[in-house]
Structure 1
Amino acid sequence: MDDRIKQVIQQAPQAVHTNGSLKLVIFDCDGVLVESEHIVAEIMGKEARQYGWNITDKQAREEFTGVQMVDIGKKIAKHAKRNLPDNWAEEAHKKVVEGMFGNVEKIPGVESILQTLHDLKIPYRVGSNSSQEEMKTKFEKTGLMKWFPKDRIHSAYEVRNSKPFPDLYLYAAEEEGVNPDECLVIEDSDTGLKAAYDAGMACMLLRDLNKAAPNYKGVIRVDSLQKAIDIIKEIVQSQHNREH
């Protein structure tokens, strides 16, 4: 582990410290486990343009990544030239689920990190603003369903507030029976990063290192899941050595 990462870890919550205890890893879904954000952006871009918001697919991805469908509808409504129907969110959700049967792919290294956590005996869960139906479709399409029992997949639809609020991650920790400062969240979006940070959890941001990110203390930057694996192994080994 290089010195830069070591310095960041010193500013992070206890879960990743040598004298801490990592008891749960929580994954965001889109952009961390599967790549489907381009599908959502394309569909939501079309929806926005249909109602008069002249937005590109690239802009749609920036606006809607990690955002719950109801909140996407609110964003579109602000720019729309005509009213969205009352059942817009429900119908848009159906279109997204149907779109998931298209080009959904696994993020490189995803099965390796899941196998690593299994071997290290570290439990993991999923916490996403996507619906259970969307995640089920994504995991079935990519062959990842075998890794995720249904009771370990959590949707923001199950809690009061979606990301960027911390409710979803706190709920996942509660379901596991661990404290927030014993959890590590792996995220790719600013929205999810804020949720993890406000939950008091250690956070690993999966993003190109040349791309900007919020300036939260203690966020571990990685540009691949393989890098995440290497760091988690070192964290667990250091904690194991201290215990013995």
Structure 2
Amino acid sequence: MTCLLILLCGLSAPAPASAEPPPPLLLAREATEGIDPAPYWISEKLDGVRALWDGQRLRFRSGRPVPAPAWFVRALPAQAMDGELWLGRGRFGELSGIVRTEVPVDADWRAVRYLIFELPDAPGDFSARVMAMRTLVDTAGVPWLGAVAQFRLVQRDTLSERLAEVLAGGGEGLMLHRADAPYLTGRSDALLKLKPWQDAEATVVAHRPGQGRFAGLLGALEVVLDDGRRLRLGSGFSDAERRHPPPIGSRVSFRYRGLTRTGLPRFASFWRVREPL
């Protein structure tokens, strides 16, 4: 009835508020084998949820607000910061559930830390911003705010050893950020990720039935890459995921090792559902 009255009166219904666009962020490229670490600051690649603080609001990389408790954000300094919400190695699933809950649970959030690795639009090169981040965190004195540990290495062998240590401890890999880089956004060679495997995202377009011991379960996901090409992911699933596969239309992350001659990911394996954060 309301819609009919609006039409009869010659009025138009108000358009729904548009979603806020994603904030501009620096995105990493893959590091090449045997890279010289000397020009870079190096840190562990955290398996967390990226979040941008603009001095007033904490947002996911999608632009959506993070439903964090008021006490969590109220204590953060006014300066813009980019970092990861983090629980610890191997706890991404648990963290994702906490930070997506619309009514935040204080007891859960007490274990979450906001670890920063960049200061958007701050002056100077990255070396200067590393020092500024350390000072900012020390001055703020907020228990759940920290700066991602950044260190320098000069030898390729030492870089390989450090990567092996992180992987042995359950970490994902390393990040390399050029020491002389100004603040940048977009995908750039100024920031590199070093891992034993690569990862990418795709959209689920079909479920392929399993055979043999997977009869009656998911056999493979058919996904479409961002460039429009299709790929099948047949490994990496738990039994629960084969019983209840990611729905068609969802975004998933997968791991792979290099590219084929046609440019498709080699040995692609399902990793996890990419939550719409």
TM-score by length of 1: 0.24
Larger radius of gyration: 2
Greater strand share, 1 or 2? 2
TM-score by length of 2: 0.22
Greater helix share, 1 or 2? 1
Higher RCO structure, 1 or 2 (CA under 8 Å, sep 6+): 1
